[in-house]
Amino acid sequence: MRRFITIAAVLCSWLSSAARTRADVGIVLNESLDTSVARITGSGHSAVYLSRICPASPVMLRLCGPHEQGSVMSNYTTLGEDEPFEWNVVPLSVFVYGVEDPRNRPLFASWNIKGALETSYRETILRDYCEGQKCQTSHDAEWREMVGADSERTLYILVVSTTVEQDQALIDKFNNAPNVNHFNGMRRNCADFAKDVINTYFPHAAHRNAVNDFGMTSPKGVARSFANYAHKEPESDYHVMHFAQLPGTTKRSTECREGTEQLYRSKKLLVPMAFFAWHELPVAVGSYMLTGRFNPEHEFEQHATVHEVELDREITLAKEDEDLDDAQLEKLENASKAEKVSIVGSAQQWQDYRARFDRILAQAVEDGTIQNRDALERFAKELGEKGAASVDKDGAPWVEIQRDGKTERVGVSPANLLSPGSDRTLAYKLMLAHIAETLKSPARQRETMPEFEQAWNLMEQSRPNERNSLAMGQ
């Protein structure tokens, strides 16, 4: 039954294991945090996903063993560790969720929870590389960005298949080369690093867009060039993974942009440029309109699984086959649509869930569980700002909160939400808040349908009074 599906099973088509004959490499495109320089550039961040390569340590690579999930490798302005490393590598689940076991992934995002996950990672995995006070306490130490990325932003991973020989060549290259930071925003930034890793596998597959990024390399420009390469390689098993920013109290991330796109879409840049450099403005806008458009959400929706991509390729060939009857073509198109809907969901499915959730909220108000819909936002804010977060010996996050002179505790992952010691009322409110934010979010900030269905089932199970069948949608 779906209520017993774990996130590891939900994402089995994505988290490729080393035991399989095929493996993947992909560009990770992280949305912009809209902080510091990113408020001006809107550039986001680049990293590299490797499904058959795992960490031997945070700074050494090895081939994965059976059932391991692969890794993400990235560089930053400064990792802030005891030595000036250029790059770190972490398990995929640590990078995305902040935990090694996907069953322990948070269901709610707050800076307190992310901080607890960072501390757990530092103490268990990074301890030999982060003994200095600055590394341990500074929020500018960017090793923290390698832990629980979906707590603070949405990310996409554009993936193609590799051979074991290619993976071993990458391991040898990086394990034998100096790992010393030479970060430079203009010539050696995170997107340059991702581009160089990808081109180790497939020469010239990723490149900068000098015109739209004014001579620099941007995360979105590299992702777009890699997608264009993959579209031309039908045997590459190209597909896109999507991890939405968690519902919670952390600031919502924004879509990453290339240089001319930022000028075109950002009023705070477009207006001054129109006034001071109006001669150049039509060139910048024209460049973006002609060569700079790329929407990673649309890319995900059209390439959500390898099977969907294969079906679309069959449809293209079928349309060129004059002997193929309409019934066969319709069958292929229906199969492709069903494959997409299984991951992305249909507009009707999401609308149906909104209608069902409205009835559940009405019942929660009638039961006295919440005062009104707005109370969920107040509850989320209280949990995020006042809740003290910790991670247990199994790696699962918890939150404790003082209310009416009492300490209440709730598990905030699928593994411990309903475990002994987790307050059932808090768990139910947490899941109501999770579902409410998901259903009102745009597609790019919304969970995949399998993830959402798991969250919905957790909401149903967490309801303190399960006698009312309305919560079950009956």
Helix (H, G, I), strand (E, B) or coil at 212: coil
* pLDDT top residue among 186 and 416: 416
pLDDT category at 332 given cuts 50, 70, 90 is confident
Residue 145 has pLDDT above 80, yes or no: yes
Q: Average pLDDT in the 155-162 region?
A: 96
Dihedrals φ, ψ of 217, to 5°?
Answer: -110, 125
Q: Which two tokens stand for residue 304?
A: 């959500």
Q: Which two tokens stand for residue 73?
A: 């490798």
Taking the CA atoms of residue 369, residue 370, residue 371 and residue 372 in that order, the dihedral angle to the nearest 10 degrees is -130
Residues 358-384 pLDDT 10s: 999 999 999 999 999 899 999 999 999
pLDDT category at 3 given cuts 50, 70, 90 is very low
The answer to whether 92 touches 69, Cβ cutoff 8 Å, is yes
State pTM to two decimals.
0.87
Q: How far apart are CA 313 and CA 351, in angstroms?
A: 30
DSSP letter for each residue of 315-378: HHHHHH-TTS-HHHHHHHHHHHHHHHHHHH--HHHHHHHHHHHHHHHHHHHHHTS-SSHHHHHH
Residue 16 has pLDDT above 50, yes or no: no
User: What amino acid occupies position 212?
Assistant: N
The answer to whether 388 touches 399, Cβ cutoff 8 Å, is yes
DSSP letter for each residue of 411-463: E-STTTTTSTTS-HHHHHHHHHHHHHHHHHS-GGGS--HHHHHHHHHHHHHH-
DSSP state, 252? P
Q: Average pLDDT in the 137-141 region?
A: 93
pLDDT category at 17 given cuts 50, 70, 90 is very low
Residue % of the chain over a pLDDT of 70? 82
Put residue 349 in one of left, alpha, beta given phi > 0 → left and psi -120 to 50 → alpha. Answer: alpha
Residue 30 has pLDDT above 70, yes or no: yes
pLDDT category at 237 given cuts 50, 70, 90 is very high
Residue 41 has pLDDT above 70, yes or no: no
pLDDT reported for residue 282: 53
Strands (E), 137-283: 155-162, 239-243
Q: Which two tokens stand for residue 379?
A: 């509850």
Residues 254-281 pLDDT 10s: 887 765 655 555 555 445 444 444 444 4
Residues 87-127 pLDDT 10s: 999 999 999 999 999 999 999 999 999 999 999 999 999 99
pLDDT reported for residue 346: 95
Q: Average pLDDT in the 385-394 region?
A: 95
Question: CB within 8 A of 329, min separation 6: which ones?
Answer: 315, 318, 319
Question: CB within 8 A of 133, min separation 6: which ones?
Answer: none
pLDDT reported for residue 266: 55
Domain boundaries, the chain: 2-304, 305-344, 347-472
The answer to whether 189 touches 216, Cβ cutoff 8 Å, is yes
Q: Which two tokens stand for residue 65?
A: 């063993």
Helix (H, G, I), strand (E, B) or coil at 72: strand
Q: How far apart are CA 37 and CA 28, in angstroms?
A: 20
Q: Average pLDDT in the 422-429 region?
A: 96
Dihedrals φ, ψ of 60, to 5°?
Answer: -140, 145
Q: How far apart are CA 369 and CA 371, in angstroms?
A: 7
66: nearest Cα among 78, 54, 50, 79: 54
The answer to whether 288 touches 310, Cβ cutoff 8 Å, is no
215: nearest Cα among 268, 267, 258: 258
Residue 286 has pLDDT above 60, yes or no: no
Residues 168-194 pLDDT 10s: 999 999 999 999 998 876 678 899 999
Residue 470 has pLDDT above 70, yes or no: no
Alpha-carbon distance values, 387 to 155, 249, 398, 404, 466 (Å): 26, 12, 9, 14, 27
The answer to whether 222 touches 194, Cβ cutoff 8 Å, is yes
The helix (H) or strand (E) run that includes residue 383 is: helix 373-386
Q: How far apart are CA 181 and CA 76, in angstroms?
A: 9
Residue 15 has pLDDT above 70, yes or no: no
pLDDT reported for residue 329: 81
Q: Which two tokens stand for residue 293?
A: 């458009």
